[in-house]
A = this chain, B = another copy of it.
Amino acid sequence: MMNDQGVNDTLQVATDVVVFSILQQTLKVLLVRRSGNPVNGVWALPGSLLGIDEDLDASAKRALADDTGVSGVFLEQLYSFGKPERNPQARVISVAYYALVPSEQLRPTPGRNDDAVGWFALDRLPALPFDHREIVSTAHHRLEAKLDYSTIAFQFMPPTFTLTDLQDVYEIILNQQLDKRNFRKRLLASDQIEATEEKRRDGNHRPARLYRVKHPGEVQYVK
């Protein structure tokens, strides 16, 4: 199994997950710092080698839960990365996934192989091993694109939220200001969210009506 350079020459498959959330009005990615070999003390994407009888989706889900304690969130296959030189220690194909976590809902906790987990802004990422930066970048592009033609943004929302909360999510991901009236008109016309009877009072201003998504967990195509 080892060739004469000490390199394992069997093929392995891993799943790696780019976890996005919006914290402190910023789009962030969840990274873990591994305590074990081969990458001691370096921040990397949560991930795992694929079990011999394990489904790809299940592997990504498990990697996410084991490494970060996050579960029950939107998770979708992104792309497979397989340059022979991407990992110098071994030949590993990475089937990458991305996940969206509702803002401030989950407190990720390090798994038993991890030193720490942490949220990082996209423009403040630490050095990442292998092609993890390319994976993050591909996931970011996918997220931006899907915002335009699907209800993917709802996956960032807690069970109830205000229209301003939702608009903030769009503005942060698209990195541009949106018109409040047009945004509300479009969202309400899409028939994907509904008003609750509740309002949120905070600060010294008019309370905001709370909404909920009509089909939580489902990402639908719109337009």
Contact = CB atoms under 8 A, between A and B. Distances in A.
A130 interface: no
Interface of A: 9-13, 50, 52-56, 77, 79-84, 91, 93, 95
Interface centre among A56, A82, A91, A93 (most CB of B within 10 A): A82
Instruction: Report the copy number of this chain in the oligomer.
Output: 2
A87 B52 CA distance: 13
B95 A52 contact: no
B9 A11 contact: no
A19 to B, nearest CB: 19
Give the top 3 A-B pairs by smallest Cβ distance, nearest first.
A56-B82, A80-B80, A53-B84
Contacts of A53: 84, 91
21 contacts: A10-B10, A10-B11, A11-B11, A11-B13, A13-B13, A13-B82, A50-B82, A54-B84, A55-B82, A55-B83, A56-B80, A56-B81, A56-B82, A56-B83, A56-B93, A77-B79, A77-B80, A80-B80, A80-B95, A82-B95, A93-B95
